Chain A
Amino acid sequence: MKVLVAVKRVVDYNVKVRAKGDGSDVDLNNVKMAINPFCEIAVEEAVRLKEAGVATEVIAVSVGEKPCQEQIRTALALGADRGIHVETEGRVEPLVVAKLLKGVVEKEQPQLVILGKQSIDGDNNQTGQMLGALTNMPQGTFASEIKVEGDKLNVIREVDGGLQTISLSLPAIVTTDLRLNEPRYASLPNIMKAKKKQLDVFTPADLGVEVTRHITQVKVEPPPERKAGIKVEDVAQLVDKLRNEAKVIS
């Protein structure tokens, strides 16, 4: 079966992002960009399905400006077979990304679409679910284990308080949680090979999607500062402070 995996270019997770002084936006000048960690897990899962003989082809798709082709190449180096870049300008909202991905789904007819559960920039946690609604596909969000069984997909999900197992009809959507797998590193030969893999570029118009804007970012600001407190000498002083100064224990 064909597996489509979505990847997003985001600020590297080690970068501490700050608001610009004038509050107009976050400061992304000269910061390191990378594939969103949850998307990396999605790629790894797709590649493992191929290695297990379940998937026949893995297609990596990214929506964004031209530089996101780097992240598609990363996915190709990790083992995806070919890439699709949907080229857009500026910030694209999850609803629009979902509509664009729906266009790709209609073109490619994958049996499984794997996405990260959220991107670490917008922290929205929406795109996979929205794609599910638009394509009328079932979804296994926050997945920690997936297993194809005949024409069904069993998904173990990380939910509040524990784990839930659901069974989905294929085609289906999966969004990844941290423990689904541990992504591999791309080897140098595979990075070289990835440069030669097919990468097709589409515009939203090619997919019949109008890029609309529903949300305006009015301003950004740093969160309230939390000041460092004091260092206590020992456990006795700690307990005394908690009891008599902070009054949070009795």
Chain B
Amino acid sequence: MSTLVIAEHDNSSLKPATLNAVAAAQAMGAGIDILVAGAGCSAVADQAAAIPGVGKVLLADNAAYEHQLAENVSLLIAEVAASYDNIVAPSTSNGKNTLPRVAALLDVAQISDIISVESADTFKRPIYAGNVIATVQTSDAKKVITVRTTAFDAVAAEGGSATVEAVSAVHDAGISSFVGQEVAVSDRPELTAAPVVVSGGRGMQNGDNFKLLDGIADKLGAAIGASRAAVDAGFVPNDMQVGQTGKIVAPDLYIAVGISGAIQHLAGMKDSKVIVAINKDEDAPIFQVADYGLVADLFNALPELEAAL
């Protein structure tokens, strides 16, 4: 059994999601290599080589891979995949974008968003917004899999010393190009990796009121999230959305403020270790999953909470 894990990175550093994907790969068996595809990304390959238990790191360093364009990277992965039984990537926007292309090029199914490895060919994955967990078995000899990162504890980032091997294959499909990006710059931890998440919903009433969450997030070292209702209402940008079609989070502490608790939102946060709900509607469904519920007007409760921390 051999598994190729696709590294998540930004050409300068390896992202923690890779460590969760490696954990899933370990559950599939020994023989784990990592592919780092990017441009000017040798530092990432060195970081990947430090993950214990990794056999070798394949480094495809070429301008064609700089922005992770799926058209190019999928051709590379499909070629490298020849020597592996499993191709595994974290369910990040890159993983979700690229891996189905790889599966189609290999003429195999993809198994999306696995939450456990039952055996070499059998996996569990959530369907219907996590209201149902399906156990699925694949008949494909080569398996293409994305991993729900919150379901696998990250492996150690250091202690290993894998070799780094250059991959010379250059695939430039020539049909897509990168124009630009707007990445929100924030001192806060990344939503999917934060130990504490404070999220606001429609009850926040407007975007300005999200500032009420800032002080609490600062004191707790938390990331700030939002429900789809808050995103749809234009209070905050979509990359803050926690839920079925947004980010899936499972922090140690999740504080839901002014969020009613639609099933689509619960799908994104109900695996959090401790859930706190603050809502003035005592019948809000969010209280059915909250460990600690506070029925209160958030405009009174938030300043009090900030002061009490």
A contact residues vs B (CB 8 Å cutoff): 11, 13, 16-19, 26, 38, 93-95, 98, 117-118, 120-134, 136-139, 141-142, 144, 154, 157-169, 172, 177-179, 213-223, 226, 228-232, 234-236, 238-239, 241-242, 246, 248-249
Contacts and interface: CB of A to CB of B under 8 A. Distances in A.
Contact of B244 (A120, A141, A172): A120
Contacts of A138: 71, 173, 175-176
B27 interface: no
A214 B131 contact: no
B181 A165 contact: yes
Contacts of A167: 176-179
Interface size class of B (residues with CB under 8 A): 35 or more
A232 B96 contact: no
Interface in B81-99: 92-94, 96-99
12 contacts: A17-B128, A121-B127, A123-B113, A126-B100, A129-B98, A166-B67, A168-B176, A215-B137, A215-B139, A220-B133, A231-B294, A249-B309
A122 B181 contact: no
Contacts of A142: 93, 96-97
Contact of A19 (B69, B71, B132, B183): B132
A129 B109 contact: no
B184 interface: yes
Contacts of B137: 215-216, 218
A11 B263 CA distance: 14
A137 B308 CA distance: 55
B158 interface: no
A132 B70 contact: yes
A178 B233 CA distance: 12
Contacts of B176: 138-139, 166-169
Contacts of B129: 120, 123
A134 to B, nearest CB: 5
A123 B246 CA distance: 12
Interface of B: 67, 69-71, 74, 92-94, 96-105, 107-113, 122, 126-140, 173-184, 190, 192, 196, 220, 228, 231-232, 237-239, 241, 244-245, 247, 252-253, 263-264, 270, 273-276, 282, 287-296, 301, 304-305, 308-309
A114 B308 CA distance: 50
B101 A229 contact: no
A169 B102 CA distance: 20
B111 A238 contact: no
Nearest to A153: B176
Given A118-B245, A166-B178, A231-B295, A219 B135 contact: yes
A43 B186 CA distance: 35
Contact of B239 (A158, A218, A234): A158
A86 to B, nearest CB: 17
B101 A133 contact: yes
Contacts of B130: 223
Contacts of A160: 92-94, 190, 192, 239, 247
B71 A139 contact: yes
A160 B94 CA distance: 8
Contacts, number: 263
Nearest to B181: A164
Given A124-B110, A168-B176, A248-B252, A217 B135 contact: yes
Contacts of A136: 173, 175
Nearest to B179: A165
B270 to A, nearest CB: 6
A180 to B, nearest CB: 10
Contact of B133 (A93, A159, A222, A242): A222
Contacts of A216: 136-139
Contacts of B67: 164, 166
B181 A230 contact: no
B42 to A, nearest CB: 23
Given A94-B100, A214-B138, A223-B132, A163 B113 contact: no
Contacts of B296: 234-235
A101 to B, nearest CB: 11
Nearest to A159: B93
Given A117-B245, A126-B103, A214 B181 contact: no
Given A166-B177, A235-B308, 15 more contacts: A19-B133, A95-B109, A129-B97, A132-B71, A133-B100, A133-B104, A159-B239, A161-B239, A165-B180, A177-B238, A214-B139, A226-B289, A228-B293, A232-B293, A232-B294
Given A141-B70, A214-B109, A241-B292, A18 B178 contact: no
B289 A94 contact: no
Contacts of A144: 238
Nearest to B106: A133
A130 B238 CA distance: 25
Given A231-B295, A234-B294, A246-B291, A126 B132 contact: no
Ranked nearest first, the 7 interchain pairs of A and B with the lowest CB-CB distance are A229-B291, A129-B100, A214-B109, A133-B104, A130-B104, A126-B100, A162-B183
B128 A26 contact: yes
